[in-house]
Amino acid sequence: MRVAMYYSSHDVRLEKMPKPEIGRGEVLVRVQASGICGSDLLEWYRVHKAPLVLGHEIAGVVVAVGEGVDSCRVGDRVSAAHHVPCGSCHYCSAGHDTVCDTLRSTSFDPGGFAECLRLAPINADQGVFVLPDDLSFEEATFIEPLACVMRGQRLGRLRPGGNVLVIGSGVAGLLHVQLARASGARCIVATDIVEGRLEAARRFGADAVVHADDYCADRLREVADGRLADFVVICSGATSAIAQALQSVERGGTVLFFAPAEPGVAIPTTVNELFWRNEITLTSSYGAGPDDCASALELIRDGTIHVQEMITHRLGLAETGLGFQLVARAQDCLKVIIEPQR
């Protein structure tokens, strides 16, 4: 079968490898759509594992099931989670299933940028989501990223009636804007360095947008009735985004570190300046669990979260490298979908 083999963000090659064989409890999926995630471009995180097949935002059709599989049948249209937790360890029991050792050791074989992939028994058992007929493969690729956003806002305890600042208006930022609006945020402000993304943030529900180069806390006060943000979510890896977030959080507010920074980046603050008397919470989230994915599917299906309009490019498997370039440039693209059967 054909795969898009990752060697670096600037070197993605169309290659061939054997189609995975499945055993007991396993599932073979023919991938119909696979989204490129911003994390796919993090070379400091990926390149030491190369060569490998990336792609974790997938949807497809079940073409084979092993003995004992009851989560799906041949012919089912499905999405699937690449990471799944054990459900019983210390971390899972404490509600932190995305730091579970099992979750961090599970994945697709080989990855979503391939014509087919194999789901191991634990993925097949806990991480398969049969798609309703009215949900397209393209829309289903947003289940995993929306699930991550839902988890972040839940852990950050976003509350109705507050001001929200979203720093970075890529796909994750736009999903945060939409979810915050659906959750009853009073005022949502979004920033970015790309004008097209600022326009998208306004379309998807931001009350105001500010170019990141022009942003300061006073700009936030101007559009948020004199107050700072009760909930700040960092969807940009830029170091400046962290400083802006810490300057923009209201007393009693929360800063959610959603996007990773470059290795070694430190938080530019002092304990007294940020915490003493102000009761500021700094928190983070990583990934999503199966329950988050199931909930995300329903929000997309019922139209609470609109995703179809975020898709700007649809490319064949041989064009995966071009897709990486488009995402890296970020000028005229939001979501790039790879269609491995093309």
Confidence of residue 274 (pLDDT cuts 50, 70, 90): confident
Model pLDDT, residue 111: 98
Sorted by sequence, the CB contacts under 8 Å of residue 157 that are 6+ apart come out as 254
The CATH-assigned architecture of domain 157-284 is 3-Layer(aba) Sandwich (3.40)
Contact 168, 191 (CB under 8 A): yes
Closest CA to 40 of 293, 285, 323: 323
Phi-psi region of 217 (alpha: psi -120 to 50; beta: other; left: phi over 0): alpha
Pairwise CA distance, residues 201 & 212, whole Å: 13
Model pLDDT, residue 332: 86
- 16-50: pLDDT as tens digits: 999 999 999 999 999 999 999 999 999 999 999 99
- pLDDT tops 90 at residue 276: no
Model pLDDT, residue 267: 87
- 107-152: pLDDT as tens digits: 999 999 999 999 999 999 999 999 999 999 999 999 999 999 999 9
The β-bridge partners of 3 are 15, 114
96: helix, coil or strand? coil
Contact 233, 156 (CB under 8 A): yes
Placement of tokens 């945020």 in the chain = 185
Q: What mean pLDDT is predicted for residues 208-226? A: 93
Beta strands, E only, the chain: 2-8, 11-16, 27-35, 57-65, 77-80, 116-119, 128-130, 163-167, 187-192, 208-211, 229-234, 249-257, 281-284, 311-316, 335-339
Pairwise CA distance, residues 200 & 311, whole Å: 12
Note whether 2-143+287-339 and 157-284 share their fold.
Answer: no
Locate the domains of the chain by residue range: 2-143+287-339, 157-284
- pLDDT tops 90 at residue 270: no
Model pLDDT, residue 263: 93
169: helix, coil or strand? coil
For the chain, helix (H) and strand (E) counts, in that order, are: 13, 15
User: Cis omega (within 30 of 0) on the bond before 51?
Assistant: yes
- Hey, what's the torsion of the CAs at 55, 56, 60, 65, to 10 degrees? 110
- 310-340: pLDDT as tens digits: 999 999 999 999 999 999 998 889 999 999 9
Q: Report domain 2-143+287-339's class.
A: alpha beta
pTM for the whole structure = 0.97
Contact 102, 86 (CB under 8 A): yes
- pLDDT tops 90 at residue 272: no
